[in-house]
Amino acid sequence: MADSDKQCCDHLAIEPAVREDATARLRSIRGHVDGVLRMLERDDVYCVDALKQIKAVQGALAKTGDLILRGHLKHHVVTAHERGDEDAIVAELMDVLKYR
């Protein structure tokens, strides 16, 4: 990213507390995924046990995404009108939500 691009968007960066929380959650999720991989390397793993662990990872990822989305709504979407970029923010959000 060019410095000019970074400077124009610094005000839309993830809030530090949200970034720290999301980072900690993702590190935990990474450990959980590593555990699922170790589980699947065994010959005696029951399918349902693996599926439960995968579902737990999906839930943790969803919660992390919700955390970041909540921060985005709170800190960027509600102030879009003041900045004059509401159309861009709405378009961006719609683009992200189509993947949910």
Mean pLDDT of 47-60: 98
> Which ranges of 1-100 does DSSP label H, i.e. alpha helix?
3-9, 16-40, 47-72, 80-83, 86-97
- 12: three-class secondary structure by DSSP: helix
pLDDT at 100: 65
Interval 68-91: pLDDT, tens:
999 999 988 888 888 899 999 889
Q: Give the CATH H-level superfamily of domain 15-97.
A: Metal-sensitive repressor, helix protomer (1.20.58.1000)
pLDDT at 78: 87
Query: Confidence class of residue 9 from pLDDT cuts 50, 70 and 90?
Result: low
pTM of full prediction above 0.75: yes
Q: Domain coordinates of the chain in residue numbers?
A: 15-97
pLDDT at 97: 84
Spatial neighbors of 26 by CB under 8 A, at least 6 apart, are 64
